[in-house]
Chains A and B, each alone.
Chain A
Amino acid sequence: DVMMTQSPLSLPVTLGQPASISCRSSQSLVHSDGNTYLNWFQQRPGQSPRRLIYKVSNRDSGVPDRFSGSGSGTDFTLKISRVEAEDFGVYYCMQGSHWPVTFGPGTKVDFK
């Protein structure tokens, strides 16, 4: 199975400042079809997860443009350009390039 790791696991942030979460996979996420199926999710307390980014860098509709995804191969990053109060919660990366689908352990974003 592809192991997904995230760092940091806890991220205290200051409103208005940037934030960054790293996600690494144990093997390349380039699929045989040429796509890289690396997605990012946000989960606020008591809510279902919400997909933010799909295939590394594509922002889902309705997702603020302060969220961006980048990376390739085995190293990926989710960036928030300026953190807002509604951004607290847990962020997960997920790979869908290889069966079984696997998630990272999650990064808890809270406020300093």
Chain B
Amino acid sequence: EVQLVESGGGLVQPGRSLRLSCTTSGFTFGDYALSWVRQAPGKGLDWVGYIRSKAYGGTAEYAASVKGRFTISRDDSKSIAYLQMNSLKTEDTAVYYCTRDDASMLKYWGQGTLVTVSS
């Protein structure tokens, strides 16, 4: 069974950093691309970024709103993906979901982790 479990969320002050983890199981992690999607309280879905598998270069794409502040990485040996978030803003407050592709994007989703950016 494919499982994705996000962790690392919490309350952080504006301008500070936070790293989210996506711990996975049930599939060969290195074979798949992963995405992060967020959802502000009471709002819609907002794509954050994407990281390719190593077979496709392991490179990442980002939404304009986070480019230069957020970095997605992966550790294939541990089956974990990371979202490093720097220079956090109040508008980054959201539930952050880790997702995995299958035939197309965003097939499998984790339960999400809440990040609250507030002073």
Contacts and interface: CB of A to CB of B under 8 A. Distances in A.
- A and B associate: yes
Interface of A: 1, 37, 39, 41, 43, 48-51, 54-55, 58, 60, 90, 92, 94, 96, 99-106
B104 A49 contact: no
Interface of B: 35, 37, 44-47, 50, 61-64, 97, 103-107, 109-112
The B interface is mostly helix, strand or loop, or mixed, namely: strand
Contact of B105 (A43, A48, A96, A104): A96
B44 A103 contact: yes
A54 B103 contact: yes
Contacts of B46: 103
A49 B45 CA distance: 9
B5 to A, nearest CB: 12
Contacts of B62: 100
Given A48-B97, A50-B109, A55-B103, A102 B47 contact: yes
A55 B105 CA distance: 9
B45 A58 contact: no
A106 B43 CA distance: 9
Contact of B106 (A51, A99, A104, A106): A51
Nearest to A48: B109
A36 to B, nearest CB: 10
Contacts of B50: 101
A100 B35 CA distance: 12
A21 to B, nearest CB: 14
B105 A101 contact: yes
25 contacts: A37-B104, A39-B104, A39-B106, A41-B106, A48-B97, A48-B109, A50-B109, A54-B104, A55-B104, A58-B103, A90-B44, A94-B47, A94-B105, A96-B105, A96-B106, A100-B47, A100-B61, A100-B63, A100-B64, A101-B47, A101-B105, A102-B47, A103-B44, A103-B46, A106-B45
